[in-house]
Structure formats: structure tokens, C-alpha cells
Amino acid sequence: MGISKREAEEEAKEVFESLGIGDLTAHLPSQLSGGEKQRAGIAREIVKDPKILFADEPTANLDSETSEQLMDVLKKVNKEGQTIIMVTHEEHHAKKADRMIRLKKEKYIKTKCFKNNKLRFYEYNSFNHQ
């Protein structure tokens, strides 16, 4: 049956506030900056609770403080059970992931994952299908 409208609004408010845009929920998109629009879009997706949340360069247009705030929120929802697939060129953000798949020159993938608190790397050639 889902949750009530009031519960949904409270959840949305909490997510928007965690991303630093709680006071902007009544604004029109044309009244928001690029970074605010970006965070609002991510907040909407988090509230929808999809099976997989795809985040393509989620911190690209954000300052470093806001980027860290966003990464903290993504890490929190991931720990709560949300699967996230994030694409980033920012190594320091990628290192925060529990698992990282690195594509390099379309020739090989390097995977970093944690198992029993031990870091393991797997490297294999996956693009040579000759």
C-alpha cells in the first residue's frame, strides 16, 4: 500500500535538508542554481527508493564542501540498503565505495572490493573479444 502522503513529505524534507536544500522546496527550477538543481534531482531519486540508483558524476558541478555532503548522503542511503552505481572521475570519491570497477582505455577492468574487512583487487581483460 505504500506510505501516507504526510510520511512521504517528511521523508522528502529530510533528504532535501540532508543535501542542504531543505529551504528551497517551494522554489521553481528556474529559481535554482545548477548545483541546487543537481541536488534536487538526486534527492527526488533517493525519495523514490529505486532498486538501483544511478549517479552519473553526481558531484561534477558542486563545490568541495557540498560534494562531501552529497557523498555522505549517498553513503548513508547505501548503508541503509540502497544499491548505487556511480560514475566518477574523482578518485577520492571513488575510494569511498565498497566496490570500485575501473575502466582504463577500454582494455581492462580493475575491481576493488571489500570482503571481511580485507581489500581485494581483481584485474582482468574483459574488452578483448577477438
pTM for this predicted structure: 0.78
Whether CATH 2.40.110.10 fits 5-97:
no
Tell me which amino acid residue 101 is: I
CB 73 within 8 A of CB 38: no
Per residue in 60-110, pLDDT tens?
A: 989 999 999 999 999 999 999 999 999 888 888 888 888 887 777 666 566
